[in-house]
Amino acid sequence: MTDFGKRPGDMFKSTYDPDEDGVIAVAQTEALCFYERGNLSAWDWQKSDFSLDMMWHDLDCSAIVPEGTALIQFVSHLQGGSLGRHFFLRKKGYANEHNKAATYCQASDYYIDQQWLIPCDENRKVQYYGSSGAISYIHLAIVGWMK
How far apart (Å, rounded) are the C-alpha atoms in residues 135 and 87?
Answer: 10
Give residue 67's pLDDT.
96
Q: Tell me, what's the pLDDT at 76?
A: 93
Is a pLDDT exceeding 60 seen at residue 26?
no
Q: Judge contact between 65 and 121, C-beta under 8 A.
A: no
Residue type, 1: M
pLDDT at 6 over 90: no
Report the alpha-carbon distance of residue 120 to residue 89 in Å, rounded.
10
DSSP type of residue 48: G
Topology at the third CATH level for domain 32-146:
Jelly Rolls (2.60.120)
Q: What is the pLDDT of residue 86?
A: 85
Determine the average pLDDT of the residues in 87-106.
Answer: 88
Least confident of 16-25, 30-39, 50-59: 16-25
Identify any residues that bridge with 27 across adjacent strands, giving them in sequence order.
none
Mean per-residue pLDDT of the chain: 83
Residues 41-66 have a mean pLDDT of: 95
**Euclidean distance between CA atoms 147 and 30, whole angstroms:** 10
How long a stretch of residues is the chain? 147
Query: How far apart (Å, rounded) are the C-alpha atoms in residues 129 and 85?
Result: 11
Does residue 8 register a pLDDT over 90? no
Measure the CA angle with vertex 127, ends 123 and 130; round to 5°: 160
Q: 72 near 126, Cβ under 8 Å?
A: yes
- Write out the DSSP string of 28-72: HH----EEE-----S-SEEGGGS--SSSEEEEE-TTTSPTT--EE
Give the start-to-end residue ranges of the domains of the chain: 1-30, 32-146
What percentage of the chain has pLDDT greater than the value 90? Answer: 54
Contact between 142 and 64 under an 8 Å Cβ cutoff? The reply is: yes
Q: What is the pLDDT of residue 16?
A: 55
